[in-house]
Amino acid sequence: MRERTGSWVSVTLAAVTAVVLAACGSSSTTAPSSSSATAPPSASSTSPSASTSGSPNFDSCTVVTQSQASSAIGETVSAGTLGNATVEGGLACVFYGPSAPTPHTPNVAQSDSVRVVVVEGADALTWYNDYKSSSTLEEAVSGYGDQAFYDGYASLSVMKGDYYLRIAVSPANAAPSLPDEEKLATDILPSL
């Protein structure tokens, strides 16, 4: 019986990891460019595009430090690397822990990593609402920005003024942690 329980736990952990990776990543493997932004998978015809967003290529690494990312995930992480973000239409700043799969691919969500995305501008609220409406497990979170929600399995999304902040803290052998994401949001929000 103990072997069956262990197998069930392994299968469940693998399924949660797959959902996390799918939720935060992009299928693109190209490097980010100053003129590219990808619409969310559930985007309607009213979703913002690269040409209409105020600043879809906000450098998310300017608002989070390596030390803050390390503190959030509870281990030393690499320096931040920019990668494309699908859901937010911007650029993710990605930090990797020692157990992150190699090669590190910042355009795709990976375990043992911290992903921070900031989209700034008039369309940030549209991106926020679009992701919120596609999150079937979303739950409101109070005390962060103007409004915030947890998508139920991978990330914390926060609106503050014309900034949309999305944080995913994905430990190597555990499900993403809302308390860790909230801790990092508390560190980042004053700089937005």
- What is the DSSP secondary-structure string of 94-107? EEE-TTS-SS--TT
- HSE-CB at 145 with a 13 A cutoff on CA atoms is 25
- Residue 138: CB partners within 8 Å, gap ≥ 6? 132, 149, 150, 151, 152
pTM value is: 0.72
Q: Average pLDDT, whole number, for the chain?
A: 75
- Asked whether residue 8 carries a pLDDT value surpassing 50, the answer given is no
pLDDT confidence bin for 87, thresholds 50/70/90: low
- Asked whether residue 17 carries a pLDDT value surpassing 60, the answer given is no
When divided into structural domains, the chain yields a total of: 1
pLDDT confidence bin for 141, thresholds 50/70/90: very high
In this prediction, residues 104-114 reach a mean pLDDT of 91
Domain that holds residue 179: 2-191
pLDDT for the residue 162: 94
